[in-house]
Amino acid sequence: MSDRELDRRSLLKLGALGLGAAATGAITGCEGESSPPPTGRATGALADVRDGTELGRVPGSLSSPPAGLYADRPLETVRVGFVGVGGMGGAHVRNFLRIDRVEVRAICDIDADRAAEVASWVTEAGQADPSLYTNGERDYERLCQEEELDLVFTATPWRWHVPVCVAAMEAGKHAATEVPAAYTLEDCWQLVEVAERTERHCVMMENCNYDRPEMMVFHLAKQGLLGEILHAECGYLHDLRAIKFANDGEGDWRWWHSAQRNANLYPTHGLGPVANVMDINRGDQFAYLVSMSSPSRGLQEWAAANLPDSDPRKAENYVLGDVNTCLIKTVNGKTIYVSHDTNLPRPYSRIHMVQGTKGIFQGYPNRLHIEGVSPDHRWEAYEEVLERYDHPLWTELEERSAGAGHGGMDYIEDYRLVKCLLEGLPTDMNVYDAAALSAVGPLTEWSVANGSRPAEFPDFTRGRWRTNPSLEIVRA
């Protein structure tokens, strides 16, 4: 077996030594050196991640992946139940109500008033009253068991993503989840195993895959106009201090991850579009990463200046470095830079750069250069090239997506999921993509805690990435 192809059997054999990078220093460039013993062993729920001793542990049976990309029978109607209908969950409900051949059958939320409010949108759209599930945090289990649904969609706090998806698939429903799909390797493996065993879709809803500039870059790349893609840079740069310390919504839970985890907590917005362009899991695969974090200052200073003395979060020790930097190497030798920056004052942006042998796209501000087409050594502005290179999905859905969240990309994301289910097609993003992208969180956490040592990605596809077909340019 190649050094870069550690599969689940290898990971299990590593046992208590955990992740491949923790147990195989020679594999990742530290020849003759064994894994150092854990220092300052962490305590609490995420101790296994921070010292690396359990990071490679995976659950369940060693099943074989399907021979091809999974597709279910076509559906006449997509009957959907929503679990978690706060900001993003509610936005998805509105999108689904705008898509033909969709029935919103059930709403689940711990806030009964909010569930009733969202249910009223369903009846206002001319559909029947949806069933309400508001009896505590685990009432989604009853929804999954009792309702006749095709899809369960969760937009809950992160710790519920995997339990809701698993409950849905075990009950014979397809599952869709907001990002990240999981934040431990064990949970990534659980999603893969349950999806394979139950033969259900498990889709991570990464809306940035459908943003207009990102889809234009995908369109360019698939036409060969950028040449061979060699390198990409991406990241999530968003001042979340007020959101993390809000007294409701994401403030109820998001701060906890910053207090407990020093990692790239939110990699998928930047990495999802780049992975699609680079054919990750479809001809190439993430091989390993290294990561480091800056000191943690932003949350402590914001809490000291803004929280009352009675708020226990004011005295919390936040371990998340203000800026996390990650470098990923793919099996085919390509490189990716990924950044996470959410604790310092800054306007919102996402790094988005794709570089090939014939051209380069640079985001924020969006601009393009194609050798032999663009003026020599000069950028062309995005507005100047959009009509020439726009992705057909955007040109065909622009009017229908108008007014939807994040400039319309949320609608296009939901539209594509429904279309794949109605037509019996493989979904644009599958459970292996959800696992690979989400794995960046725990892998960067381990790398940061272990002196930026390389951390190997598990092969969730167990070799199928070599033969899986590339994503295509699709139309509405």
Query: Each residue's pLDDT tens digit in the chain (476 positions)?
Result: 333 333 433 433 333 333 433 333 322 333 223 233 222 222 233 333 333 334 544 545 556 788 889 999 999 999 999 999 999 999 999 999 999 999 999 999 999 999 999 999 999 999 999 999 999 999 999 999 999 999 999 999 999 999 999 999 999 999 999 999 999 999 999 999 999 999 999 999 999 999 999 999 999 999 999 999 999 999 999 999 999 999 999 999 999 999 999 999 999 999 999 999 999 999 999 999 999 999 999 999 999 999 999 999 999 999 999 999 999 999 999 999 999 999 999 999 889 999 999 999 999 999 999 999 999 999 999 999 999 999 999 999 999 999 999 999 999 999 999 999 999 999 999 999 999 999 999 999 999 999 999 999 999 999 999 999 999 999 99
Q: How many CA atoms lie within 13 A of 86 on its CB side?
A: 13
pLDDT the model gives residue 63: 65
**Residue 338 phi/psi, 5° resolution?**
-130, 130
Taking the CA of residue 365 as centre, how many other CA atoms within 13 Å lie in the half-sphere pointing to its CB? 7
d(CA 417, CA 355): 29
Say how many C-beta atoms besides its own lie within 10 A of residue 272's C-beta.
Answer: 24
Domain boundaries, the chain: 78-204, 208-393+430-466
The answer to whether the beta carbons of residues 164 and 152 sit under 8 Å apart is yes
Q: How many CB atoms lie within 10 A of CB 18?
A: 23
Q: Per CATH, the architecture of 78-204 is what?
A: 3-Layer(aba) Sandwich (3.40)
- Per the CB < 8 A criterion, the answer to whether 50 and 443 are in contact is no
Q: Output the CA angle 171-173-178, nearest 5 degrees.
A: 115
Tokens 């601009």 found at: 367
Burial class (CB in 10 A: 0-12, 13-18, 19+), 10: middle
DSSP 136: S
pLDDT at 340: 98
Give the pairing of strands 151-154 and 352-356. Answer: unpaired
Identify the pLDDT of residue 350: 87
SS3 label, residue 127: coil
Measure the CA–CA gap between 293 and 286, rounded to whole angstroms: 21
What contacts 284, CB < 8 A, 6 or more positions away? 278, 330, 331, 332, 334, 465
Instruction: Report the run of H or E that residue 80 belongs to, with start and end.
Output: strand 78-83
Domain 208-393+430-466 indexed as CATH 3.40.50.2000: no
Tokens 């939320």, residue located: 109
